[in-house]
Structure 1
Amino acid sequence: MSVVAIVVFVVAYALIASDRVNKTLVALTGAAIVVALPVINSDDVFYSHETGIDWDVLFLLLGMMIIVSVLRQTGVFEYVAIWSAKRARGSPLRVMILLVLVTAIASALLDNVTTVLLIAPVTLLVCDRLAINAAPFLMAEAFASNIGGTATLIGDPPNIIIASKAGLTFNDFLIHLAPIVIIVLVVLIALLPRLFRGSFAVDPERVADVMSLEEKEAIRDRRLLVACGVVLLAVFAAFVGHSALHMAPSIVAMLGAGILIVVSRLEHADYLSSVEWETLLFFAGLFIMVGALVKTGVVKRLAHLAITATGGNTLLATMVILAASLVISGVVNNVPYAATMAPVVADLVPALGDHVNPGALWWALALGTDFGGNLTAVGASANVVVLGIAARADNPISFGEFTRKGAIVTVMSAGLSAAYLWLRYFVFG
């Protein structure tokens, strides 16, 4: 049965990476095959912590998507983007820097796909007023979303998967990953003038148009904005203190979503408008296929091979995981890669338990998987969303163009991440 599980997963992985077939259809078809044969049964799928669907992941995503749907009705995201553009006084470079900062911060607090969906339309508006090509701005925001989302448990889908397998908390991600994220973001901002050289020329008359935008008019419902702010503060406070509260982040997110649904009195079409049902189904199918690999022992054998290859050396294992994650997640997609590698690292960590900082392996996996998403246009879901928006706005971004810029950002992120992991966990302990 292990051969069947491997073949189904590899074929599904290839189809997902090709981006020619709907990824949700592929994931659900693969899940149906391993259940029907049967490589895995219903108890394994619905009730097993090791091989089943991770309901905590799905409900955390669902809760946050509903919260964002309600928040979107207030117009606050448009307000922030217009405010940033005006504070930049219409300078394209300063506009890009501010939008990159807004995107990175929002991606850490929400999730990177939702953030680019909300920021990109306003970016197009500002670039249209300035009569400049929006493609460089959208690419910079995609890079920033993947970098900023690395800092928190909820910022990037791979982090949710990794946290679930490793038993990591919201605070763990902030403490261990936020410092390197800040460093990488600062270096990205310093690289922007060279990375997008020739993209910042603007007509002074167009600058006046941008300055005429009134950000206050973007706020459509002030009462709801206040309510959202209070609920979001409570939700993030509960995320930070969920260990003491003995309440899983998924429950916190769903409670916050429920409160906002009641308070906002929105129609169901409005509070479900940002819920990506296809994404949730994709995750479910993916968990089932990975569960089949776990049940048939494929994952344990991979972990054993990894232990053998690294000779039990934790530093070598950490760097191998970082490098492999950066490349593989960038070439394919970081979500299925994280779902596949998390069980491998879960088996690898106990085997290195007597060595220095085996927990560094989890941070290597998170950094490699999240930062590796910048390597190509299909490396992260946010990239795919950005390319679609750019194409519809007649500012197309080619796969090659994105990859050329993304490779520079990824190499920079890789070097800084390797130095950070080595210094923090092996030099200073």
Structure 2
Amino acid sequence: MASPSSSRCHGTPPRSRAGPGFCRRPRVVDLIERVGPVIGFLVALTIVAEISERAGVFDVAAHWAARVARGSVLRLWLLIVVLAVASTIVLSLDTTAVLLTPVVLAVARQAKLDGTLFALTTVWLANTASLLLPVSNLTNLLALHSFSRIPDHPSYLSVMWRPALAAILATVVVAAILYRRQLRGRYVTARPADPHDRVLLLTAAGVCVALGPLFVSGIMPVFPAAVAAAFLLVVLAVRDRPGLRALDLPWRTVAALVVLFVVVDLAGRHGLTDAIGALTGQGSSVTDLMRLSGVSAVLGNLGNNLPTYLAIEPVTGSLDRHAALLVGVNTGSIVTVWGTVATLLWRQRCRRAGVEVPLRTYTWQSALVAVCAVVAATLVI
């Protein structure tokens, strides 16, 4: 016969078990279950992106765009827009910021064009195009956990495709208006891309293309990402063994994220959640959603989008409010250079390439893009 204390364990939700004799599930276990797949995905996708960059996928794509544009700055810019959007959606905003930025700037330099337009377009779309798939942004992966707790919830894609499309279109329109004069120009076709290992190049490109459908198939994203990373590591070991040692994995970022998750979790249990709830309000009307996305964007710029998401998520509730939160932290946190990790990485890459976007120019133009993208995306939730 089971003891009274053991019988009370059955049928009791983990969060409600407390006190002597109860089988309370440690809170740290819940945190690990939620954070573990996110961290694993980050490492796996970084491996895919690093090997793809070493294989020449981004280099070839950018130079292909320069040739296809046939000397038209407008066509070149539109092709860069497509590359940035595709890279962000399938391989995440950090991939676009870190790997696509230097290639785009190199093409602009070879074509004797001002790199500012291409640099800003890349960083804006790295952020504002990161709503469509769970893998596009770490905040989206975190949101999957919240989506799954809502009974009979629709898929992430069915909820976010309209805001994602609206944010991308708003960004492109604002950028085109701001740089309309530069877009009318012409350029000399850039030289062909440097030669690459054809087998490694085609394999990496094929993996990147295959990941897109897998990420929207309903499989937990960490699994296809891990398989893709392992496969490319084997191919790299066969084709370019020294390349294994050259891989730059984000261990510092992983450590910082783990600390961040723990700190925000502790702060939420000591009053932060209540304070945030008073700022963001309740309800799912257009006005309520605008308030939530606006507050999320402002707090994301004051701090960083990831801790902002973690702090606000407990007071969202409905799917519409989750969507508004993602709109705010993903598309609105671009006004300050520290608003997202991707923007910080982008700034470092620009400086390495000798392109310095004036902070004043970056701030006011990014503010304009952020306002338009957040409003447009929130209106169609």
The number of equivalent residue pairs is 351
Paired AA for residue 235 in structure 2: V
Q: Which blocks of at least 5 consecutive residues in structure 2 are unaligned?
A: 1-24
Compared with structure 1, are the counterparts of its residues 64 and 314 closer, same or farther at alpha carbon in structure 2 (3 Å cutoff)? same
Paired AA for residue 164 in structure 2: V
| Alignment equivalent of 2:105, drawn from 124, 133, 142 | 124
Which residue is equivalent to 1:392? Answer: 352
Partner SS state of residue 113, structure 2? coil
Query: Quick check: 1:321–1:368 contact (8 Å CA) kept in 2?
Result: yes
Separation of aligned partners in 2, 1:366 and 1:51: 22
Paired AA for residue 156 in structure 1: N
Compared with structure 1, are the counterparts of its residues 101 and 301 closer, same or farther at alpha carbon in structure 2 (3 Å cutoff)? same
Which residue is equivalent to 2:61? Answer: 80
Query: Quick check: 2:167–2:373 contact (8 Å CA) kept in 1?
Result: yes
**Cα offset for 1:96?**
1.9
Q: Does residue 224 of the first structure (1) align with residue 205 of the second (2)?
A: no
Separation of aligned partners in 1, 2:60 and 2:200: 15
Separation of aligned partners in 1, 2:206 and 2:141: 24
**Cα offset for 1:186?**
2.7
| Alignment equivalent of 1:114, drawn from 82, 92, 95 | 95
1:334-373 aligned at under 5 Å gives the runs: 334-345=305-316, 349=317, 358-373=318-333
Separation of aligned partners in 2, 1:187 and 1:320: 19
Which residue is equivalent to 1:279? Answer: 253
**Cα offset for 1:106?**
0.8
Q: Does residue 214 of the first structure (1) align with residue 192 of the second (2)?
A: yes
| Alignment equivalent of 1:261, drawn from 216, 221, 233 | 233
Which residue is equivalent to 2:222? Answer: 250
Higher relative contact order (CA 8 A, sep 6+): 1
Paired AA for residue 382 in structure 1: A
Compared with structure 1, are the counterparts of its residues 269 and 87 closer, same or farther at alpha carbon in structure 2 (3 Å cutoff)? closer
Query: Quick check: 1:146–1:370 contact (8 Å CA) kept in 2?
Result: yes
Compared with structure 1, are the counterparts of its residues 389 and 241 closer, same or farther at alpha carbon in structure 2 (3 Å cutoff)? closer
Q: TM-score, normalised by structure 2?
A: 0.82
Compared with structure 1, are the counterparts of its residues 107 and 359 closer, same or farther at alpha carbon in structure 2 (3 Å cutoff)? same
**Cα offset for 1:44?**
5.6
**Cα offset for 1:88?**
1.6
1:123-272 aligned at under 5 Å gives the runs: 123-167=104-148, 172-200=155-183, 207-210=187-190, 213-215=191-193, 217-218=194-195, 220-232=196-208, 235-243=211-219, 248-265=220-237, 266-267=240-241, 270=244
Compared with structure 1, are the counterparts of its residues 134 and 324 closer, same or farther at alpha carbon in structure 2 (3 Å cutoff)? same
Separation of aligned partners in 2, 1:305 and 1:184: 27
1:87-115 CA-partner distances (Å, limit 9, x unpaired): 22222233222212210111000011211
Compared with structure 1, are the counterparts of its residues 285 and 411 closer, same or farther at alpha carbon in structure 2 (3 Å cutoff)? same
Q: TM-score, normalised by structure 1?
A: 0.73
Which residue is equivalent to 2:3? Answer: none
Q: State, as a whole percentage, how many aligned pairs show the same letter.
A: 20
Query: Quick check: 1:146–1:371 contact (8 Å CA) kept in 2?
Result: yes
1:307-342 CA-partner distances (Å, limit 9, x unpaired): 8x43xx332543321111122213322122112222
Separation of aligned partners in 2, 1:102 and 1:51: 34
Partner SS state of residue 149, structure 1? coil
Q: Does residue 324 of the first structure (1) align with residue 284 of the second (2)?
A: no
